[in-house]
Structure 1
Amino acid sequence: MKKQWVMMLVLTASLMMATQAKADHVRIVTGDYFAPFTGRDLPDGGIMTEIVRRAFEIAGYDHAEIIWRSWRQGYDMTVRGEVEGTFPYAYTPFRARSVLFSEPVASLSAFGWYAKSRQNFETIDDLNGAALCLPLGYAELGRTSQMLATGRATRHAPPDMRTCFKLLGAGRVDIVVAPRSEARDSMRAAGLELDHFGHIEEPLSTMPLHFVVGLNHPRAGKIMQDFNTALRELDESGELAVLLSRAQY
């Protein structure tokens, strides 16, 4: 009887250790071609990938595994609770029905890009009736959201930003909505000349970027609490500012 009791204790302890080990490993999904924040070809996977890894390290997790999927697939995996989170995402009320948002990690402005050979847009007010390109899965924010909601502009939503700039170069859309860094990288990836394009000086939107966790994940609240606590520590120590300063955006 005593031997059986000891074996039960050992088995229980083993199960607890296995559960703890599993809890200390997180799988995080993100997408590609969003420099300087995420990208398989970027140093450390991009500046926000590095920040997310560092935050989970500070939070005491043994390993934060980064996996790469399309933006739509990665977000859907997060909503279903199949991974511990994804990044970077801007807040929208629609998304907030499905995911928890961290405290802001970084912020980013998106501009209206045009082909210089076709039309020179000087202000946002010049965009009445324009065909805007914003890839599938990208949120409609700020002035972009207002123009689309009121019918002042229409949206084209191809799979990625490279395709948006190909459409812009071909004259099939009037404006591409993109941050400077992502726009430049997308032009290069599309084989286009950067000096053939310009952008309106006033941003269409300025958006905080977040780490998000699906509400369907059984540990959603704990994961987000751990991440936010670690992010505050990164901020207060000055390490977050140092990491962000490496990205020229």
Structure 2
Amino acid sequence: MLYRAGRLLLLAMLAGGSAQAAGLRLVTGTDYPPYAGPELPAGGMATELAVTAFGAAGVAVEPVEFLPWKRGYQEVLNGEFDLTFPYVAAPDRNQEMVFSAPLYDLRIWPVFRADRMRSYTGPQSLVGLTLCQPVGYAQPEVLHRILASGALHLVQPASMQLCARQLLAGRVDLLIDSVPLFNTMVMSEWKEGPPPKLGDRPVESNPLFALAALSNPKAPEIVAALNKGIAILFADGRYDAIVRRHMGGGEATETAPEPPR
């Protein structure tokens, strides 16, 4: 895979500490509050964590770019960007990306129309429903079997906003969402009638990672620099400060990962 001359200088910086090299090119997505989005403070929590961590590790970065999730991910594979975030683990990603240490651990919850509320006791309690998850979102691992069997039907529009609208219109029964995304994007679509509701227990815990392409020979060094920076942020208190600033009280339902070692 071809890299521009500036990219070669960047990799030399990572290998040898050159202060003259161009910065790393980072890309993230849109419409994922409070984690990523151009309209969010500092580009979202994951964006601020990544940029601050690289700075703490002494690695320069260029201004973060925001692209549709599928396009940004593919451009990392193509070598146009060095790193993307935040992503959960998925089988296809494991085969083509190098994963950082977890940036953040979030719990994802079932979200129901008020008139279709069910007690969530595990995947089988969702049999017969229609789940909406946008293109580019990984399906929860715990639901893979019933999705593959067709016992849980999957609809995939372009965005979570469209999923929220389909849920409120009664065209789907269920979303899988984090509490902050439910409180912002889903509830912003509710205008009248009974509001959508969170289930009574989470579906699973999903660590969020940064990803560099396996085809990039410097991916291990890039990821190691990020991990080093995250560890520094844990140690000096900046990690907690960034999370609290973005979560707005939602941190009670989610947890920070263990610091990288």
Shared fold per TM-score greater than 0.5? yes
- Residue number in structure 2 paired with 1:127: 126
Please, which moves more after superposition, 22-31 or 93-102? 22-31
- Residue number in structure 2 paired with 1:225: 224
- Residue number in structure 2 paired with 1:68: 66
Larger strand proportion, structure 1 or 2? 1
Larger Rg: 1
Alignment of 1:68-217 (within 5 A): 68-116=66-114, 118-124=115-121, 125-190=124-189, 192=191, 196-217=195-216
- In structure 1, give the amino acid aligned to 2:209: H
Give CA-to-partner distance per residue, 1:84-130, whole Å, 9 cap, x none.
Answer: 111000112320111111001101111111111x3121224431111
Which SS does the other structure have where 2:63 is aligned? strand
Which SS does the other structure have where 2:205 is aligned? strand
Please, which moves more after superposition, 102-111 or 180-189? 180-189
- Residue number in structure 2 paired with 1:9: none
Please, which moves more after superposition, 170-179 or 193-202? 193-202
Which SS does the other structure have where 1:111 is aligned? strand
CA drift at 1:22: 6.8
- 5+ residue gaps, structure 1: 1-14
Give CA-to-partner distance per residue, 1:9-47, whole Å, 9 cap, x none.
Answer: xxxxxx979964674401111111111111111111111
RMSD over aligned Cα atoms: 2.4
TM-score (norm 1): 0.85
Which SS does the other structure have where 1:37 is aligned? coil
CA drift at 1:136: 0.5
Is the Cα contact below 8 Å between 2:113 and 2:167 reproduced in 1? yes
Q: How many residues align?
A: 234
Is the Cα contact below 8 Å between 1:89 and 1:211 reproduced in 2? yes
Which SS does the other structure have where 1:122 is aligned? coil
Give CA-to-partner distance per residue, 1:161-213, whole Å, 9 cap, x none.
Answer: 00001111111111011112112322355464596110212111210001111
TM-score (norm 2): 0.82
Is the Cα contact below 8 Å between 1:144 and 1:205 reproduced in 2? no
The whole-number CA distance in structure 2 between the counterparts of 1:234 and 1:79 is 28
**Identity score, percent:** 28
Q: 1:52 to 1:195 in 2, by over 3 A?
A: farther
